[in-house]
Structure 1
């Protein structure tokens, strides 16, 4: 299998992982760890798990210098900002505004990397956005930014687009080092938000409440979250940033399905049609390339 094809699967898988993100966050909230406390706790665990890797790979980390730190920081800032946006606005509004990323990424890749914007890419973006609007019932009105959380969600999507451009331009950093720096900076950003915007420290749940979550949260972080971030850090540099944005929209499909299965959210014809449209948009360029190759093979016979 070609590296580019594997990278597409990796980015789609990463999007699926973030579509499951609401489950551990909601579980923490139900356990009594809510708001910025949950965000901080969620990102502190992978930070601790990455420290042994950092000790082993300190030489590549030093060699990566400020550039490696910038890559980790931008990716972390985007993901933590998206997590926080859900605290200050509706999940629907946050998701819609974040997933303008294919548009930002495509335009930024054209401006800074000189990558062409094909007609097929425009069509794929239009189909994906249509699917998203169908799922989120935009016929009732498109949620323009109004609340603080709306602007944070919009900004987090743009920040991820910038991170995708930087990762695309990166030629040296190993995916494992990018993962480590992402989680280190995620914990730092989450801690800073808790320090400056969080509630009084006296409102923190007791230590016993945090410890009680470790038996299920540590495996979830290791098996799901960390593999999803690794997939994004490995696959993103190998693909056009606009295509990465489209592939990451699998988050919307997985989020809609899992929310219907486990939280009783509605799932009907709107959700089914929207998921189909988003899936078609993500596969459109790959299917077109496959069709071209088969046509070329037939001509050579």
Structure 2
């Protein structure tokens, strides 16, 4: 019995992270309605999250001397991933943004080849084909180029690109402690989010005008981000890639239900078809770099 409970922890961690990411867009929208921009909300929530992460991992962070350059790149990539994702789900349709984000396996193929020198097997070409087909079905309108048509879609797409880069870089630094990498992630988001906030007028006034309910939202989101970050790191470290991607895709189901109930957003048939192709690509992505059996 203890062994079975232990084996349930990694998938439970992945499911927890998927649930957080599938619903976190909603409190960010509430904060936007209260006058807190996506950039400012990201900055505050990740500053709140940074406190417990520093307490847990600060000592290991100070001792880390190797691969600082790569860790900075991870911080920048993950910082943009999180900021772009928040801006996208605030200003766009949640499911379209998420599906564009889930084109990440396509970009992973290129980054893994460039940074790690990895060659893909037949599943890699299948992932590329399905991803491109899904993107074309979703984005091509009236014979035009299959490109995003608004700010939110471009942010969602760029978040997926940055996420793919961060994942490949993390694989390059497997020997770096999870806590240290997590701390760099939070520092990256704070640093990236602080840049646009610096150009926003009235940020301090907006923060001063928040009531206790909005501060509870900010603190709650910050703590959920800490939970999701460590849960997914633990889950990925103890779950086969092909199984992990299936569990993480539950984020799409959770987000679809939440966006329907909370924002009354509905996907059309074209979006469902493109999304199905992108999901299929993600399902095969866990086998891109596995050895092909002969």
Structures share fold, TM-score greater than 0.5 = yes
Q: Which residue of 1 aligns with 2:261?
A: 261
Q: 1:177 aligns with which of 177, 180, 183?
A: 180
CA distance in 2, matches of 1:173, 1:285: 24
Are 2:253 and 1:228 aligned? no
CA distance in 2, matches of 1:9, 1:65: 31
Q: Which residue of 2 aligns with 1:206?
A: 208
Matches within 5 A, 1:89-108: 91=94, 94-108=97-111
Matches within 5 A, 1:210-289: 211-222=212-223, 224-234=224-234, 249-266=249-266, 282-284=282-284
By how many angstroms is 1:131 displaced?
Answer: 6.7
Indicate if the aligned counterparts of 1:79 and 1:156 stay in contact, CA closer than 8 A.
Answer: yes
Count of paired positions = 284
By how many angstroms is 1:147 displaced?
Answer: 4.4
By how many angstroms is 1:162 displaced?
Answer: 1.4
CA distance in 2, matches of 1:119, 1:151: 29
Matches within 5 A, 1:14-33: 14-33=17-36
Q: 2:123 aligns with which of 113, 120, 124?
A: 120
- SS at 1:213 equivalent: helix
CA distance in 2, matches of 1:122, 1:75: 26
Indicate if the aligned counterparts of 1:102 and 1:242 stay in contact, CA closer than 8 A.
Answer: no
Q: TM-score, normalised by structure 1?
A: 0.70
Q: 1:191 aligns with which of 174, 191, 194?
A: 194
By how many angstroms is 1:154 displaced?
Answer: 3.2
CA distance in 2, matches of 1:283, 1:6: 21
CA distance in 1, matches of 2:246, 2:130: 10
CA distance in 1, matches of 2:72, 2:149: 33
Q: 2:49 aligns with which of 46, 51, 54?
A: 46
Indicate if the aligned counterparts of 2:70 and 2:169 stay in contact, CA closer than 8 A.
Answer: no
CA distance in 2, matches of 1:187, 1:167: 19
By how many angstroms is 1:169 displaced?
Answer: 0.9
* Deviations 1:189-216 (CA, angstroms, capped at 9, x unpaired): 11122003x233465243542x433435
By how many angstroms is 1:229 displaced?
Answer: 1.9
CA distance in 1, matches of 2:89, 2:268: 24
Change in Cα spacing, 1:73 to 1:46, as seen in structure 2 (3 Å) is: same
CA distance in 2, matches of 1:117, 1:167: 18
- SS at 2:198 equivalent: helix
Q: TM-score, normalised by structure 2?
A: 0.71
Q: Which runs of 5+ in 1 are unaligned?
A: 294-301
Are 2:160 and 1:157 aligned? yes
CA distance in 2, matches of 1:177, 1:212: 32
CA distance in 2, matches of 1:106, 1:175: 23
